[in-house]
């Protein structure tokens, strides 16, 4: 045994071919013997001949008459084997059959693993890298080669890549690590497995280590697949390699493999080839700090986190499809220009467009000597609190300088867990002022959604109020902590708080007084913010904006609505509360629970309007609905204040003409607008109430909700839907074509954070580098106005054709006794049935089938065949806006109850 390694039992056995297993073509299996040779290391002994089992698709490609453009060299980790890569082998062959670029797949079983030879040797990391090189020499692998590794096989594959720069044109990894930080322990499961009393028993004598690995698949492996992974490890005599692999984990600098790991880590940082890093966040061993390290070493890498996936990533998620997409984009013919970044043209164009733009805080700088109000806090103790432009500008400068003083650096991520107000505004503008990247995740995501978002964004710093800091500590969110309030020493220690915002500002004030200057404004193409989506159609996604793009958001809002210096703005929607100072507007957030828009009352809006002498009001549809519902409590003074409003906006979900009309009765001198946008592009189109009414008189309102004409600088096109409900064909601006809405504008987001494949899908078929596929379905009319008909994933594919939900919902809502409606599909795609789920007025006490008369009226109004009509007390909605009906949830619920399940609330 090697000195310094724990001893594990080991046996010898020849290499064999695997038995028939699901998903594994026997034609791929080969046994390859590598002749013995001299060990090149100082003092090394002669290396005996060894026989490997591997999967190789070369023969299958030859049978197809196809010449591969390159080779994917796939290396498994512990305790898996080459079976891990069966989907990669199958999908590459499918692509070759379809006429796409053909990639040969060589997936090895490392020695003492899988069906390769059992040697009874202890293989150090350096041995594994060298042995893999000897195998590829025997295979005559000439390149181009892309390595693909998982777990500790990722390290081995990267070591091979470092040693074969003349062959390697790309590297890809799944949940691996090339460095163990000195200040962090190795993950708990590995610490347990390495304990002397556990190592042999848990990895070799019993299959505990193997079974634990198989048990953490998400979703759970089916029995046949799990048995396939077990196949080469039945009996302790065949599991010695599992124990040896665990024993070879470099736990510290004294470990015999530590130097080799350091060598590989340094070599990875020097790689200048395209890289793809795929990650399963639910991995209990390869924690996200290892992903951070890889990204630091490979800053050019394309990264995709598969939310919900874990350690067995190739089984948990579509790794094969992602790899093929990536190869098609980065290495379409197996070659690339070393160091080339195909995204560079987009960046260059973005920089050219952003020349001459003013930074986000330009208005704040211009007003820094003004004593006029900048912010008004309605919920402050003792009544409204006013912050002048002078005070706000000074505080932003002080906090910015203080953040630099405590160690925040350009590019650091700063998560803001603060409700709208002066603290959030100062922290946000101070962070972007020094080139840090602010991370903003709405509290409306809920604790689980926030946890997923913050962990995914991997902030370096957290600035938070007490609730946010408490959650960060309890749930293990990353980042050094800064509190917005003073805390007792015990509480600071318990929450891990290093500084308070007041302390940061004082340090900054001293720094500025000593003559220190703030850095120059970051370049327009530098990332400025990660804003999270609502999570209403899946896990919330981080949307990255550059400084130039945020400035473009400000500019389009100013131009579209004539909002600027001197405007009083009531922001009942968090993004606009943050943009107020950028616009030079006097901003006030009404007294409400920002996580529950329906808590906003008419009186709270009136109070906010009066406090800020506001002429512009922005509310979410759910908030606006409750304002209308509570309007009877308004006093004459309240109504007088609301009468001074000239413009009110409501967006975030479709807004009906009836709701806009009711709101106009409260603000009779205001123009009512409902802009259309998304987190990826906050303003795409706009329509006022007159426009909505005019569209209705055109007789086409049956097909959706009119959201108006494109805003300044915005291009809107439609990618037509095929019979399967999928967008197909080139985007068009032709009238009357229903499909996915495709937008392009200078203020569209830069990319999704660590979601390479999602970002790729959002740009597919879009010929504008500023383009974005929205996931919304709609059409353009002859006047160029956009009509929204629903979300792409909510399209119902019936035997008679595609049904989009919004039109039928609108028609059904006109039936007497019906409130809101959700259209859902049940059954297999292509033969789905339409189900209408309605809220009744008055509300039903329990969910159930609709009364016969109501069902007949709904079917008559729908305009499409409706298989079933169900009633519920309340329709489920998204977590952030409380406005969008959760149709996916309705579909699952309707499928269950119509299939005989319990009639419970959805």
Q: Quickly state the pLDDT bin for 696 (edges 50, 70, 90).
A: confident
Over residues 531-560, mean pLDDT = 89
C-beta of residue 724 within 8 angstroms of C-beta of residue 732: no
C-beta of residue 680 within 8 angstroms of C-beta of residue 775: no
Does 33 fall in a domain? yes
Return the CATH number at 19.
3.40.50.1820
Query: Distance (Å, rounded) from C-alpha 474 to C-alpha 757?
Result: 32
- The phi and psi torsions of 848 (rounded to 5 degrees) equal 175, -175
pLDDT at 260: 96
pLDDT at 41: 52
Does position 359 have pLDDT exceeding 60, yes or no?
yes
Return the CATH number at 457.
3.40.50.980
Q: Which of 794, 828, 863 is the last residue of a domain?
A: 794
C-beta of residue 471 within 8 angstroms of C-beta of residue 595: no
Residue 319 and residue 177 share a domain: yes
Query: Distance (Å, rounded) from C-alpha 400 to C-alpha 428?
Result: 9
Residue 517 and residue 422 share a domain: yes
Residue 130 and residue 65 share a domain: yes
* E strand or H helix at 275: strand 275-279
Does 104 fall in a domain? yes
pLDDT at 347: 36
pLDDT digits (tens, 9 = 90+) for 276-315: 999 999 999 999 999 999 999 999 999 999 999 999 999 9
Q: Quickly state the pLDDT bin for 380 (edges 50, 70, 90).
A: low
| C-alpha 892 chain-centroid distance | 23
The rounded mean pLDDT for the chain is: 90
Does position 346 have pLDDT exceeding 80, yes or no?
no
Does position 465 have pLDDT exceeding 50, yes or no?
yes
Residue 188 and residue 259 share a domain: yes
Residue 826 and residue 778 share a domain: no
Q: Which of 330, 350, 384 is the last residue of a domain?
A: 330
Return the CATH number at 864.
3.30.300.30
What is the SS3 string spanning 761-806? Answer: HHHCCCCCCCEEEEEEEEEECCCCCEEEEEEHHHCEEECCEEECCH
C-beta of residue 858 within 8 angstroms of C-beta of residue 868: no
Over residues 504-517, mean pLDDT = 97
Residue 232 and residue 144 share a domain: yes
Does position 643 have pLDDT exceeding 60, yes or no?
yes
Does 664 fall in a domain? no
pLDDT digits (tens, 9 = 90+) for 801-830: 999 999 999 899 999 999 989 999 999 999
Residue 689 and residue 821 share a domain: no
Q: Which of 516, 546, 576 is the last residue of a domain?
A: 546
pLDDT digits (tens, 9 = 90+) for 391-430: 999 999 999 999 999 999 999 999 999 888 899 999 999 9
| C-alpha 476 chain-centroid distance | 19
Which residues, listed in sequence order, are joined to residue 290 by a DSSP beta bridge?
none
Other beta carbons within 10 angstroms of residue 253's beta carbon come to 11
pLDDT at 591: 87
Does 567 fall in a domain? no
Domain that holds residue 451: 362-546
Distances from the Cα of 656 to the Cαs of 69, 650, 672, in angstroms?
A: 55, 10, 11
Does 644 fall in a domain? no
Query: Distance (Å, rounded) from C-alpha 118 to C-alpha 136?
Result: 19
Q: Quickly state the pLDDT bin for 455 (edges 50, 70, 90).
A: confident
pLDDT at 453: 85
Query: Distance (Å, rounded) from C-alpha 610 to C-alpha 885?
Result: 33
Number of independent structural domains in the chain? 4
More confident residue, 828 or 443: 828
More confident residue, 290 or 696: 290
DSSP sequence for 100-160: S--EEEEEEPPTTSTTSPEE-----HHHHHHHHHHHHHHHT--S-EEEEEETHHHHHHHHH
Query: Distance (Å, rounded) from C-alpha 836 to C-alpha 857?
Result: 12
Residue 435 and residue 298 share a domain: no
Q: Quickly state the pLDDT bin for 2 (edges 50, 70, 90).
A: low
Does 659 fall in a domain? no
* % pLDDT > 70, the chain: 93
Query: Distance (Å, rounded) from C-alpha 476 to C-alpha 675?
Result: 38
Does 110 fall in a domain? yes
Residue 534 and residue 470 share a domain: yes
Does 800 fall in a domain? yes
Residue 217 and residue 303 share a domain: yes
Dihedral of CA atoms 431, 432, 438, 443 in degrees, nearest 10, equals: 80
Q: H helices of 537-688, where?
A: 547-561, 574-583, 602-612, 621-629, 636-642, 657-666
pLDDT at 901: 79
pLDDT at 252: 81
pLDDT at 340: 44
pLDDT digits (tens, 9 = 90+) for 676-695: 999 999 899 999 999 988 88
pLDDT at 342: 42
Does position 9 have pLDDT exceeding 70, yes or no?
no
Report residue 370 as tokens.
């003004």
Over residues 846-864, mean pLDDT = 95
pLDDT digits (tens, 9 = 90+) for 860-896: 999 999 999 999 999 987 654 456 788 989 999 999 9
pLDDT at 537: 67
Q: Measured over all CA atoms, what is the biggest interatomic distance in the chain, rounded to whole angstroms?
A: 97
DSSP sequence for 37-59: EE--STTPPEEPPEEEEEEE-HH
Q: Strand order in 715-720's β-sheet?
A: 676-678, 681-686, 705-710, 786-791, 771-780, 739-744, 715-720
Q: Quickly state the pLDDT bin for 78 (edges 50, 70, 90).
A: very high
Residue 892 and residue 759 share a domain: no
More confident residue, 14 or 181: 14
Residue 315 and residue 440 share a domain: no
Report residue 866 as tokens.
């409706």
Query: Distance (Å, rounded) from C-alpha 844 to C-alpha 858?
Result: 16
If phi > 0 it is left, if psi is from -120 to 50 it is alpha, else beta; for residue 229 that is alpha
Distances from the Cα of 233 to the Cαs of 112, 203, 213, 527, 729, in angstroms?
A: 10, 11, 13, 48, 49
C-beta of residue 587 within 8 angstroms of C-beta of residue 376: yes
Query: Distance (Å, rounded) from C-alpha 364 to C-alpha 586?
Result: 11
Does position 235 have pLDDT exceeding 50, yes or no?
yes
Tokens 């969008």, located at residue: 884
Tokens 């997936």, located at residue: 107
More confident residue, 24 or 251: 24
Residues composing the chain: 906
């Amino acid at each position: 045994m090697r000195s310094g390694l724990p001893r594990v039992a080991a046996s010898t056995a020849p290499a064999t071919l695997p038995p028939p297993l699901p998903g594994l073509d026997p034609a791929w299996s080969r046994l390859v013997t590598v002749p013995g040779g001299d060990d090149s290391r100082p003092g090394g002994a002669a290396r005996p001949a060894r026989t490997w089992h591997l999967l190789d698709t070369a023969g299958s490609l030859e049978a197809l008459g196809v010449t591969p453009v390159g080779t994917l060299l796939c290396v498994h980790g512990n305790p898996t084997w080459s079976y891990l890569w069966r989907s990669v082998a199958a999908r590459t062959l499918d692509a070759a059959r379809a006429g796409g670029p053909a990639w040969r797949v060589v997936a090895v079983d490392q020695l003492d693993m899988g069906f390769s030879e059992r040697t009874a040797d202890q293989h150090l990391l350096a041995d594994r890298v060298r042995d893999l090189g000897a195998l590829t020499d025997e295979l005559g692998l000439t390149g181009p080669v892309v390595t693909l590794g998982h777990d500790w096989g990722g390290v081995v594959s990267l070591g091979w890549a470092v040693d074969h720069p003349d062959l390697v044109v790309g590297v890809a990894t799944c949940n691996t690590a090339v460095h163990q930080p000195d200040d962090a322990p190795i993950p708990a499961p590995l610490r347990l497995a390495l304990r002397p009393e556990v190592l042999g028993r848990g990895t070799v004598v019993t299959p505990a280590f193997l079974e634990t690995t198989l048990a953490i698949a998400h979703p759970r492996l089916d029995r046949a697949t799990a048995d396939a992974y077990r196949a080469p490890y039945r009996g302790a005599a065949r599991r010695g390699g599992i124990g040896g692999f665990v024993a070879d984990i470099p736990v510290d600098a004294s470990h015999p493999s530590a130097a080799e790991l350091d060598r590989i880590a340094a070599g990875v940082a020097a790689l200048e080839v395209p890289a793809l890093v795929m990650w399963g966040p639910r991995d209990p061993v390869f924690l996200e700090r290892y992903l951070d390290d890889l990204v630091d070493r490979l800053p050019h890498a394309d990264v995709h986190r598969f939310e919900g996936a874990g350690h067995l990533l190739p089984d948990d998620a579509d790794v094969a499809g992602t790899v093929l997409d990536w190869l098609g984009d980065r290495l379409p013919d197996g070659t690339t220009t070393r160091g080339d970044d195909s995204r560079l043209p987009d960046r260059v164009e973005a920089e050219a467009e952003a020349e001459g733009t003013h930074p986000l805080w330009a208005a704040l700088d211009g007003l820094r000597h003004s004593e006029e109000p900048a912010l008004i806090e309605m919920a402050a103790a003792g009544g409204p609190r006013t912050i002048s432009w002078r005070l706000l500008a000074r505080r932003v400068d002080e906090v910015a300088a203080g953040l630099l003083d405590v160690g925040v650096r350009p590019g650091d991520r700063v998560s803001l867990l603060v409700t709208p107000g002066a603290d959030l505004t100062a922290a946000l503008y101070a962070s972007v002022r020094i080139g840090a990247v602010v991370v903003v995740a709405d509290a409306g995501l809920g604790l689980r959604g926030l946890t997923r978002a913050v962990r995914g964004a991997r902030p370096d710093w957290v600035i938070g109020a007490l609730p946010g800091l408490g959650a960060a500590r309890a749930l293990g969110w990353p980042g050094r902590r800064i509190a917005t309030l003073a805390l007792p020493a015990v509480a600071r220690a318990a929450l891990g708080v290093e500084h308070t915002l007041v302390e940061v500002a004082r340090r900054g004030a001293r720094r500025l007084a000593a003559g220190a200057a703030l850095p120059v404004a970051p370049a327009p193409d530098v990332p400025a913010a990660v804003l999270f989506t609502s999570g209403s159609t899946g896990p919330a996604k981080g949307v990255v904006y550059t400084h130039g793009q945020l400035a473009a958001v400000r500019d389009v809002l100013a131009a579209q609505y004539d909002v600027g210096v001197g405007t009083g703005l009531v922001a009942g929607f968090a993004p606009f509360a943050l943009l107020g100072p950028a616009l030079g507007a006097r901003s006030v957030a009404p007294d409400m629970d920002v996580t529950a828009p329906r808590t906003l009352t008419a009186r709270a809006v009136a109070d906010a309007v009066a406090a800020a002498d506001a002429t512009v009001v922005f509310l979410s549809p759910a908030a606006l609905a409750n304002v209308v519902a509570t309007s009877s409590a308004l006093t004459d003074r309240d109504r007088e204040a609301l009468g001074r409003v000239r413009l009110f906006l409501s967006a975030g979900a479709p807004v009906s003409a009836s709701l806009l009309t009711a709101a106009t009765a409260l603000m009779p001198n205001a123009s009512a607008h409902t802009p259309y946008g998304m987190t990826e592009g906050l303003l795409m189109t706009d329509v006022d109430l007159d426009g909505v009414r005019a569209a209705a008189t055109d007789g086409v309102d049956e097909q959706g909700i009119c959201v108006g004409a494109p805003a300044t600088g915005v291009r809107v096109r439609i990618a037509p839907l095929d019979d399967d409900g999928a967008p197909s064909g080139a985007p068009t601006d032709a009238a009357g074509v229903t499909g996915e809405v495709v937008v392009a504008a200078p203020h569209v987001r830069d990319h999704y954070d660590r979601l390479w494949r999602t970002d790729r899908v959002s740009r597919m078929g879009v010929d504008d580098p500023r383009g974005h596929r929205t996931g919304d379905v709609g059409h353009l009319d002859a006047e160029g106005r956009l009509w929204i008909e629903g979300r792409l994933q909510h399209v119902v594919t019936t035997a008679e054709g595609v049904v989009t939900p919004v039109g039928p919902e609108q028609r059904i809502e006109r039936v007497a006794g019906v409130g809101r409606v959700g259209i859902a599909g049940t059954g297999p795609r292509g033969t789905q049935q339409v189900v209408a789920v309605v809220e009744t007025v008055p509300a039903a006490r329990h969910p159930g089938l609709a009364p016969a008369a109501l069902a007949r009226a709904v079917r008559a109004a729908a305009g499409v065949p409706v298989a079933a009509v169900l009633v519920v007390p309340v329709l489920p909605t998204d977590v952030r806006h409380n406005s969008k009906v959760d149709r996916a949830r309705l579909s699952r619920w309707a499928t269950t109850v119509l299939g005989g399940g319990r009639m419970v609330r959805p």
